[in-house]
Chains A and B, each alone.
Chain A
Amino acid sequence: MNVAPATPTWPMYRTLVGIGMLCGLMIAVTFQGTRPVIERNRAEALERAVFAVLPAAIARATFALTAEGQFVPDTNATGQRVHAGFDADGQLVGVAIEAAGMGYADTITVLYGYSPLQEAIVGIRVLTSKETPGLGDKIETDEAFLENFVALDVRLDASGTSLQHRIETVKQGKKTEPWQIDGITGATISSVAIGDILAKSAERWVPTINEHLDRLSAGGQDDGT
């Protein structure tokens, strides 16, 4: 920046530093003031979503998968998170998992509930999507489509490391097997995308979750340590 001789350097520094400090202070105060509210809102929204995809759950505990492949109760551990849901007796009813993938217009993020007891996906909720209104966004509203996820089979094969049947999206009304998803006419790409997102994510998470069921079940009592 050029310092014109007419203006001494001092007022420039005074102004920039002074206003900078004032601004920093205002932002820091706002940040501190709103953070508890924002965090509470986020937790509530997450809770609502988890309970929506795990209909039987009334409590939740969040776990993070560490790099060593262990689930630890969510403190500040890095790694992808899953949310275990528990019923009134503290029994594990399922695990809610976040998954994302490309849709028709942009990334679609979904939360789905997996029930180890039924070996099935028992609920799904679209968290973010920019699919075409009126067509692609039927993946969020179409009741017949959401019906697919009341019990979508994700049984493990004999080895326990992979799904017995890959989840696939078929034409509307052509669903014959419990691991198939009835697509939506007019929203082909979006409904296929949902199937792919679930297939990929379930292939990765279902075996891991089954391996660590004890750990996750313990989360209902106390702090799970």
Chain B
Amino acid sequence: MNEQSLWSIFVNAALVNNFVLAYFLGICPFLGVSAKIATATRMGGAVMFVMLVSSMCAYAIHHVLIAIGVPFLELIAFIAVIASTVQLVEMFIKKISPVLFRALGIFLPLITTNCAILGLALFQTNKGYGFLQAIVYALGAGIGFTLALVLMAGIREKLELATMPDVVTSTASAIIVAGILSLTFMGFAGLGA
């Protein structure tokens, strides 16, 4: 059992060990959909939602697998559950809120291959978080992901018309910006102590 306080878990997941900028999880959507603030916010929302749901599922799976004595199937179970959770969430949102579905729609399938979701499930298991701790961890990670994505999009919108040398392609410039963001996030270290 881990005795870390909820506040400390939250601050650490969102700021100190930001999933994108410190753990490099979810870099693909980070570089892919961070060109506009509006899309970045929606993507962040979708990821946060799926993170919360799959974190709860991962907690349940871990305990079930331990109970029936097949811990080695954990990875396969996580992946299968995340993929089907995304499908379920998609159907669910479509049913209850078509507006939300239109906003998140195209991002949901992308999330299945988002390593941040699987990473969250693996980390919370490794750290031995309890149920409540896991939820707070997922919430923090989701907010941290959204924050990084929106900050990045804000910077990239400003850079769009900037003149750059030929060799600096948009991927290269995005990665440099991410490096600088990652440096600034280091300033948060020590907050969660």
Q: A residues bordering B, Cβ < 8 Å?
A: 23-24, 27-28, 30-31, 100, 102-107, 130, 132, 189, 193
Smallest Cβ-Cβ distance to A80: which chain B residue = B1
**Do B4 and A105 touch (CB < 8 A)?**
no
- Say yes or no: is B99 at the interface (Cβ < 8 Å to chain A): no
**Do A193 and B72 touch (CB < 8 A)?**
no
- Kindly identify which residue among A23, A30, A31, A106 contacts B17, using a CB–CB cutoff of 8 Å: A106
**Do A132 and B4 touch (CB < 8 A)?**
no
- Kindly identify which residue among B72, B73, B76, B192 contacts A102, using a CB–CB cutoff of 8 Å: B192
- Say yes or no: is B16 at the interface (Cβ < 8 Å to chain A): yes
User: Of B12, B73, B189, which is in contact with the most chain A CB atoms at under 10 Å from its CB?
Assistant: B189
Tell me, rounded to whole Å, the shortest Cβ–Cβ distance linking B133 to chain A.
12
**Do A24 and B192 touch (CB < 8 A)?**
no
**Do B73 and A132 touch (CB < 8 A)?**
no
Q: B residues bordering A, Cβ < 8 Å?
A: 2, 4, 8, 12, 16-17, 72-73, 76, 127, 189-190, 192-193
- Please name all residues of chain A whose beta carbon is closer than 8 Å to the beta carbon of B12 when the two chains form the complex: 102, 106
- Please name all residues of chain B whose beta carbon is closer than 8 Å to the beta carbon of A105 when the two chains form the complex: 16-17, 189
**Do A27 and B73 touch (CB < 8 A)?**
yes
Smallest Cβ-Cβ distance to A131: which chain B residue = B189
- Please name all residues of chain B whose beta carbon is closer than 8 Å to the beta carbon of A23 when the two chains form the complex: 76
A102-B8, A105-B17, A106-B17 are known contacts. Are A31 and B72 too (CB-CB below 8 A)?
A: yes
- Please name all residues of chain B whose beta carbon is closer than 8 Å to the beta carbon of A106 when the two chains form the complex: 12, 16-17
Tell me, rounded to whole Å, the shortest Cβ–Cβ distance linking A18 to chain B.
15
Smallest Cβ-Cβ distance to A23: which chain B residue = B76
Chosen A-B contacts, 25 in total, with CB atoms closer than 8 Å, are A24-B73, A27-B72, A27-B73, A27-B76, A28-B72, A30-B72, A31-B72, A100-B2, A102-B4, A102-B8, A102-B12, A102-B192, A103-B193, A104-B189, A104-B193, A105-B16, A105-B17, A105-B189, A106-B17, A107-B2, A107-B4, A107-B127, A132-B189, A189-B193, A193-B193
**Do A104 and B190 touch (CB < 8 A)?**
yes
User: Of A28, A102, A104, A106, which is in contact with the most chain B CB atoms at under 10 Å from its CB?
Assistant: A102
- Please name all residues of chain B whose beta carbon is closer than 8 Å to the beta carbon of A24 when the two chains form the complex: 73
Tell me, rounded to whole Å, the shortest Cβ–Cβ distance linking B5 to chain A.
9
Tell me, rounded to whole Å, the shortest Cβ–Cβ distance linking A109 to chain B.
11
Tell me, rounded to whole Å, the shortest Cβ–Cβ distance linking B172 to chain A.
26
> What CA separation (Å) do A31 and B75 show in the bound complex?
13
User: Of A106, A189, A193, which is in contact with the most chain B CB atoms at under 10 Å from its CB?
Assistant: A106
> What CA separation (Å) do A106 and B12 show in the bound complex?
8
- Top 6 A-B pairs, shortest CB-CB distance: A31-B72, A102-B193, A189-B190, A104-B190, A104-B189, A27-B72
> What CA separation (Å) do A143 and B73 show in the bound complex?
43
Tell me, rounded to whole Å, the shortest Cβ–Cβ distance linking B93 to chain A.
19
> What CA separation (Å) do A104 and B16 show in the bound complex?
9
> What CA separation (Å) do A107 and B13 show in the bound complex?
12
Smallest Cβ-Cβ distance to A189: which chain B residue = B190
- Please name all residues of chain A whose beta carbon is closer than 8 Å to the beta carbon of B8 when the two chains form the complex: 102
